[in-house]
Homo-oligomer: A and B are copies of this chain.
Amino acid sequence: MQAIDTSTPIGFIGLGVMGSSMASRLQEAGYGLRVHTRTASKAASLLERGAMWSPGVAAVAAESRAIVTMLGFPEEVEAVYFGPGGVMESARPGSILIDMTTTRPALSRRIHAEARQRGLQALDAPVSGGDVGAREGKLSIMVGGDPEAFEAAQALFRVMGSRYVLQGGAGSGQRVKLCNQIAGFGSTLGTCEALSFAVRAGLDPVKVLESIGAGAASSWALTNLAPRVIRGDFAPGFFVRHFLKDIKLALEEGEAMGAFTPGLALAKELYASLERMGMGDKGTQALYLLLSGAGSPIAPAP
C-alpha cells in the first residue's frame, strides 16, 4: 500500500489522556485529523487547532485512509471495530486500521483477519511510556501485523514514538505489551514490598533508597514510584484498574499457552484487592497501601 504522508486523511478515535496527546503530536506534524471520542469536550483543543469533528465512528472511518484507535478496554475495541456503524463496515478498502489500545491478542488477530477479508490492512500497536511519553512523542510502540502495513504506518509511529518495532504477525504487539506489564509488575511489587518492609522496620525510607537505588535492586519503579510513595502521592501515572485489566489479559493469554506465571497470579490477587478496596483510580504504586496495611501511607508501624 501507499505510504502515509501528511496529505493522507487520518482518523483518530479515543481521546483520553494518552489518545489526545498522541493526536496532538500528529496534528503538530502536519496531519489533518478527523476525530471522534465518547466525551466530545475532550476534542476541544484539537478542534481549535483545525481537527475536524466526526459525529461517530462510521464517519471517521469513511473519511480517513488511516484510522487510529486508542481506547480503554477490549469491549470498547470490539464495539468500535465490529459494532453497528463500526470501523469494519465503514472503512474504505485500502485503508489501514491501527489499534493502539492494549487489548486481547486474539481480538487483534480477529481484527486483522476481518480486515483482510474486506481489503483493509490492520496493525496492533500498543504503547508504553505513559502520559509523558505520549506528550513528548517518546512512546515505545510494539507492533504486530504485516510488514507492508508496518512500512506504510511508520511515518505515524515516528511522530508518536521514539522506538517502534515490528514484533511479528497480528497480536504480537499485544503480546509484547503484556511482557512489558509482567516485568513492570515485578519491579512494582519489589519496590512496594521493600518500602513497606523498611517502614515497618523503623528505617528511614529516603536513606534506604540512597543505599539501594543504584544497584542490582534498581528499577524504573524504584526510581519513579518509590519517591511518590514516600511523599504519600498515590495519584495515577497509570491506573490500578487499567493495570488490573492488563494483568488479567496476560494471565488469560499465559493460561492459553500453558505458561507458568506465579508472579502474574499474585499480581491479579493484589490488584484485584486494591480495586475491591475502592482504589481502582489510584496509581499502581497504591500497592504499597495494601502491603503496608496502612491508612496513612508512610507512618512506621507502632
Contact = CB atoms under 8 A, between A and B. Distances in A.
Interface in A223-268: 224, 238, 250, 253-254, 257-264, 266
A216 B202 CA distance: 29
A196 interface: yes
A167 B222 contact: no
Interface stretch (A2-10, A146-154, A207-215): A207-215
Chain B CB within 10 Å, residue with most, of A183, A194, A253: A183
Interface residues of A, number: 73
Nearest to A201: B175
Contact of A186 (B178, B193, B210): B193
A298 to B, nearest CB: 14
A130 B301 CA distance: 32
B197 A261 contact: yes
B260 A291 contact: yes
Given A197-B179, A217-B220, A140 B211 contact: yes
A203 interface: yes
A301 B215 CA distance: 33
Instruction: Label chain A's interface by main secondary structure.
Output: helix
Given A200-B259, A211-B167, A215-B140, A183 B190 contact: yes
A185 interface: yes
A290 B217 CA distance: 21
**How many copies of the shown chain assemble into the complex?**
2
A194 B187 CA distance: 12
A50 interface: no
A91 interface: no
Nearest to A126: B211
Contact of A182 (B129, B194, B238, B269): B194
Interface of A: 128-130, 133, 140, 142, 163, 165, 167-168, 172, 175-176, 178-191, 193-198, 200-204, 207-208, 210-212, 214-222, 224, 238, 250, 253-254, 257-264, 266, 269-270, 290-293, 301
A178 B197 contact: yes
Contact of A176 (B203, B219, B262): B203
A217 B184 contact: yes
Nearest to A162: B214
A203 B270 contact: no
A140 B213 CA distance: 10
Given A167-B203, A214-B140, A219-B219, A259 B197 contact: yes
Given A163-B211, A176-B208, A197-B257, 5 more contacts: A128-B212, A176-B212, A182-B190, A186-B194, A200-B257
B211 A182 contact: no
A242 to B, nearest CB: 12
